[in-house]
Amino acid sequence: MSKVTIWIKAARLRTLPLSLSGIIVGSCIAASQNAFDGLIFSLALCTTVGFQIISNFANDYGDGMKGTDNKDRIGPERALQSGEISPSSMLRAIKITGLISALLALALIYVAFGTTHLVYTFLFVLLGLSSIYAAVKYTMGTNAYGYSGFGDIFVFLFFGILSVCGTYFLYTLSLDLTILLPAMSIGLLSVGVLNLNNMRDRDSDLKAGKNTVVVKIGAEFAKYYHYYLLGASFLFALLFTAIRFRSGYQFLFVIAYVPIFKHLFRVYQTKDMKAIDPELKKLALSTFLFAVLFGIGLII
């Protein structure tokens, strides 16, 4: 396997659609109000991809150095775990990716706010730095929050609330409380993907001392938690559509919930959660499909 292929594998490109979902929803809400800007959209997508790749590299490094990625793990073999990438090379990649992402974020902030909105600029610089910090500290360091059960909260905030509301604000320089509803939908679906991952890895995480929410509440309650996450995401999207109703096209997003509810039935039927790994990709792609259909329904 070539070095390029190894690094592409370590970047986990299959996770990118999930991270882009919030950007799409926030952008489409702005577009429905005639506030879309192609350059802001492009830079927001690139910045988010950068943050996600940092997170993936850091997750590989943190779990690899802590021994969490071991022979007991069910999912795909990681780069440090397999020895394909050394710890020093991965750490260097995290720093380089972090620098590139920071520069992209600064460019995005400048395009959105220029030099006339210094308070907004300062706020979004802090949010950008917080995003990089959160991406790195999920599994890296002695106080990694992913090992204390706080991963779900951070995913909800960064993938949902900040991604959707922050993106919308970049276009409009304003906020509407109703936008929190689809932001929560994206956040809950994203937490659902994390929860599914943690259900799959429960046994190996327990042995490694990674105290995820699933480890804390147990396999059975984790299933109920999963049902609530995805069910609530549907209700929030439905409520937003009812409040902002303009045409029947806004219900296009319901199509995305056909595979999501089929997924829930699959989770309900599965006794051995190690067999649930294929559902991760399905749920992530269904979240992306929801974002696209939700956005199309708003702008047509």
pTM: 0.94
Q: Which long-range contacts (CB under 8 A, 24 or more apart) does 114-122 make?
A: 117/173, 120/169, 120/173
Left if phi > 0, otherwise alpha if psi is -120 to 50, otherwise beta: which for 270?
beta
Half-sphere exposure of 289 (CA within 13 A, CB side): 15
CA-to-CA distance for 299 and 169, rounded, in angstroms? 18
206 touches 219 (CB < 8 A):
no
CA-to-CA distance for 233 and 281, rounded, in angstroms? 18
Which DSSP state fits 71?
T
Which DSSP state fits 211?
-
Token representation of residue 127: 């949010």
300 residues of the chain, pLDDT tens digit each: 688 888 988 888 888 999 999 999 999 999 999 999 999 999 999 999 999 999 999 988 888 887 776 666 666 777 787 788 899 999 999 999 999 999 999 999 999 999 999 999 999 999 999 999 999 998 887 788 988 889 999 999 999 999 999 999 999 999 999 999 999 999 999 999 999 999 998 988 888 888 999 999 998 999 999 999 999 999 999 999 999 999 999 999 999 999 999 999 999 999 887 788 889 999 999 999 999 999 999 998
CA-to-CA distance for 83 and 91, rounded, in angstroms? 14
Cα dihedral sign, 226-231-236-240: positive
**What is the number of domains present in the chain?**
1
Q: What pLDDT, on a 0 to 100 scale, did the predictor assign at position 226?
A: 97
Question: What is the Rg, in whole angstroms, of the alpha carbon atoms belonging to the chain?
Answer: 19
Domain extent, residue 128, equals 3-299
Q: What pLDDT, on a 0 to 100 scale, did the predictor assign at position 275?
A: 83
**Distant-in-sequence, close-in-space partners of 139: CB < 8 Å, separation ≥ 6:** 58, 59, 61, 62, 63, 66, 68, 146, 147
CA-to-CA distance for 193 and 177, rounded, in angstroms? 25
151 touches 145 (CB < 8 A):
yes
Q: What pLDDT, on a 0 to 100 scale, did the predictor assign at position 67?
A: 72
Nearest to 31 by CA among 168, 128, 185: 168
